[in-house]
A and B are shown apart, each in its own frame.
Chain A
Amino acid sequence: MQPATMDPAEEPPSMLWGLDPIFCAFARLYVRDILQMTESIQVPGIYFYNLHPIYKVDVLGTVVYKREREDFFCYGVDDGTGVINCLCWKNDLFKEEADPTKSGGKHSDGARGGFNPVAELALLRQAQQSRCRLEIGELLRVRGPVKTSRQQREIMASTFYKVNDPVMAVQIAWMMEVPQLYRQCYDKPLQLQPNATGDSALSSLSKATNIIKEFLKQKSVTRFRPYDVQDLLQPLISSQPQTASADLEPVAGPSACQQLRQLLKEALQILQDEGIVYCKVKSQDDVYQVTAHDTDLLIAVKDVIREDSQREKYAEKGCHILHILSAVRQRHSLNVSKATLELVLKSLECNSDIVSTSDDHYTAF
C-alpha cells in the first residue's frame, strides 16, 4: 500500500500498461496518494499507485492558495488528505478580456431584443472567466496529467472549473464515492499474467484453425485426412517455446509431436463445430469433408428442399431447417450437423437456388 517503498524491479513492463483500464482514465485519487505515488523509472511522467500505471488524475478540493501569472493560474487544492499545486492555463478567450468586453456591452445596448453574437460572446467570456478565476475557499475541480517540476508534484490542468456547491452536495457525493472507487479499482491488483497466457494459447489455436481454413480454400480441397494438414501446423508448435515460458523448453522436445496432434485435434473440432468440415462416415481413419466444396451435399440439400416444397404441407411456408436436417441425414449422411447445413443453406441462398421464407424456413421454385 505504501507506494514509496515499491521496489523498482516490481514495476510492470510498459508494454502491459495499456491493458490496465485505470491507465487511460482520470484516476480519482486522494491528493495524499498523488503526492506519494512513485514515478516510473522507464517513463518519467507515469506514476504507480499500487502497481497501477497512472498519468492523469481527477481532483476536487478547496482552493487554499492562489497565484496569478499572465498566462496561468496556480491553485493549491486541498481535498482534506493533502494539498497539491494545479497549473491552470488561461485560454485565449480569457486573455482578450480588457477592451472587447466593454465594446460588447455597448453593442448589446444598441441592438436590444435581437440576437447579438458580439454580446453573446462577451457573456460567454464573462461566464468562462467567472468559472476560471477562483478565490481562496472556493471549490475547484481539476483533471489533468501529473507532473513533477522542481521536485514538486503538480497537476497540469487539462480541464478545470469552479464548482458551485453551496450545500456541499458535490463534496459529500465525492467523499462517498472515492473510497468505493479505491475498493473496487485502485486497491485491487491488476492480474494480467493469467489473461496474457490464456490469450497466447487461444491465439495459437485460432491461428491453427485459420491456417487450415486458408489451405482448404486455396486448394479447393473436397476431403482430407488429419495427417494431410498436420504439417501445416508444424510452425506453430516449433515457435511456441519462444513465446511460452522458458522452463517448458526442455520438455517441449519429446512432446512436440503430441502437442501438434492435440492442436490439430482441437482445431478440427472447432472447424467441425462451425460446420466448415464434417465426417461423412465415422471410422478409425477419419476423412473430413469440406462443406463448401462438397457438391454431393449441396445437391442433396437442394433436392430435399425442391421435392418437399412441392408437398402440400410445406407449399405455403417452406421447409423448416430441422426438417431439412433430418431429411439430409437420411439421404446423405447421419453426421451432417446443423452448423454444416446452415452453411450449405447460406451458400444455396446466395446462388438463388433456394429462398428463405422466414428465419428458419426455406423453399425452392
Chain B
Amino acid sequence: MLPAAAVFHFPWEVNSGAVREGESVRVFGRLVCYQPEESRATLSAQHASKEHHVAVHTLFVEPFNPIIGAQYIVLGEIENAEGVGAMVRARVLNCVDGVNVALLQKAINEQRSFFREREHTCDDAQAT
C-alpha cells in the first residue's frame, strides 16, 4: 500500500550508478528545461565544477507550474529510459526556490554520517 521511503540523493549520484532501478529517491536541482508534450523535465546542479543533470518524468505530477531556473525537489522512483539513462519518475515535484542549497547538502551529509556511524557501532557490537 505505502510506497517505499524516498531517500535523499545528490543529483550527481543519480547518473553515477549509485542508485539502482526501482529505488525511491528524493533529489533537488534547478529546473532547466521542461517539455510538456513528452512530460519530461530536467533538473541540474553544480558539483565539483561540473554540471549534473537529472531527467524527470513528470506525468504523475502534471499539471504543474514550471518555473525555469527555480529550485525543485523531486520524489520518485528511478527508471532506466532509453537514450537518457537514469530517470526519476516523479510522485512529488515541489518548487522550493530560495532554499539554502549548501545547508541542505550539509543536512543530508549530517544524516548520512549519523547512519554510517550508527551502523559502524552496531557492527562493532556484533563483532564483539
> What B residues does A65 contact at CB under 8 A?
1-3
A31 vs B2: C-alpha distance when bound (angstroms): 13
With A80-B26, A137-B93 in contact, do A62 and B75 touch (Cβ < 8 Å)? yes
For A31, A32, A81, the residue with the greatest tally of chain B CB atoms inside 10 Å of its CB is: A81
Cβ of B82 to closest chain A Cβ, rounded Å? 28
Cβ of B13 to closest chain A Cβ, rounded Å? 14
Instruction: Determine whether the beta carbon of B4 is less than 8 Å from that of A172.
Output: no
- Looking at the complex, which of B32-40, B42-50, B51-59, B107-115 is the stretch in contact with chain A? B107-115
> Chain A at the B interface: mostly helix, strand, loop or mixed?
mixed
Query: Would you call A1 an interface residue if the criterion is a C-beta within 8 Å of the partner chain's C-beta atoms?
Result: yes
Cβ of A96 to closest chain B Cβ, rounded Å? 31
Instruction: Determine whether the beta carbon of B121 is less than 8 Å from that of A1.
Output: yes
Query: Would you call A100 an interface residue if the criterion is a C-beta within 8 Å of the partner chain's C-beta atoms?
Result: no
Interface residues contributed by chain A, number (CB under 8 Å): 31
> What B residues does A179 contact at CB under 8 A?
110-111, 113-114
Query: Would you call A58 an interface residue if the criterion is a C-beta within 8 Å of the partner chain's C-beta atoms?
Result: no
Instruction: Determine whether the beta carbon of A187 is less than 8 Å from that of B100.
Output: no
Query: Would you call A83 an interface residue if the criterion is a C-beta within 8 Å of the partner chain's C-beta atoms?
Result: yes
Q: Mark interface residues in A62-85 (1 if CB within 8 Å of B CB, else 0).
A: 101100000000001011111111
Query: Would you call B81 an interface residue if the criterion is a C-beta within 8 Å of the partner chain's C-beta atoms?
Result: no
B98 and chain A: residue at smallest CB distance: A167
Query: Would you call B20 an interface residue if the criterion is a C-beta within 8 Å of the partner chain's C-beta atoms?
Result: no
Instruction: Determine whether the beta carbon of B3 is less than 8 Å from that of A175.
Output: no
A63 and chain B: residue at smallest CB distance: B92
Cβ of B24 to closest chain A Cβ, rounded Å? 8
The B71-107 residues at the A interface (CB cut-off 8 A) are: 73, 75, 91-94, 96-100, 103-104, 106-107
> What A residues does B113 contact at CB under 8 A?
179
Instruction: Determine whether the beta carbon of B5 is less than 8 Å from that of A172.
Output: no
A31 vs B104: C-alpha distance when bound (angstroms): 20
Interface size class, chain B: 35 or more
> What B residues does A80 contact at CB under 8 A?
5-8, 26, 111
Query: Would you call B122 an interface residue if the criterion is a C-beta within 8 Å of the partner chain's C-beta atoms?
Result: yes
Query: Would you call A114 an interface residue if the criterion is a C-beta within 8 Å of the partner chain's C-beta atoms?
Result: no
With A168-B73, A172-B104 in contact, do A78 and B6 touch (Cβ < 8 Å)? yes
A76 vs B92: C-alpha distance when bound (angstroms): 13
Instruction: Determine whether the beta carbon of A166 is less than 8 Å from that of B114.
Output: no
Instruction: Determine whether the beta carbon of B3 is less than 8 Å from that of A64.
Output: yes
Query: Would you call B125 an interface residue if the criterion is a C-beta within 8 Å of the partner chain's C-beta atoms?
Result: yes
The A92-133 residues at the B interface (CB cut-off 8 A) are: none
With A2-B122, A64-B2, A78-B75 in contact, do A172 and B100 touch (Cβ < 8 Å)? yes
Instruction: Determine whether the beta carbon of B5 is less than 8 Å from that of A176.
Output: no
Instruction: Determine whether the beta carbon of B2 is less than 8 Å from that of A83.
Output: yes
Residues of B within 8 A of A (CB): 1-8, 26, 61, 73, 75, 91-94, 96-100, 103-104, 106-108, 110-111, 113-114, 118-119, 121-122, 125
What would be 18 A-B contacts, judged by CB atoms less than 8 Å apart? A1-B125, A31-B5, A64-B91, A78-B3, A79-B5, A80-B6, A80-B111, A82-B5, A136-B91, A166-B98, A167-B96, A167-B98, A167-B99, A167-B100, A168-B100, A175-B107, A178-B111, A179-B110
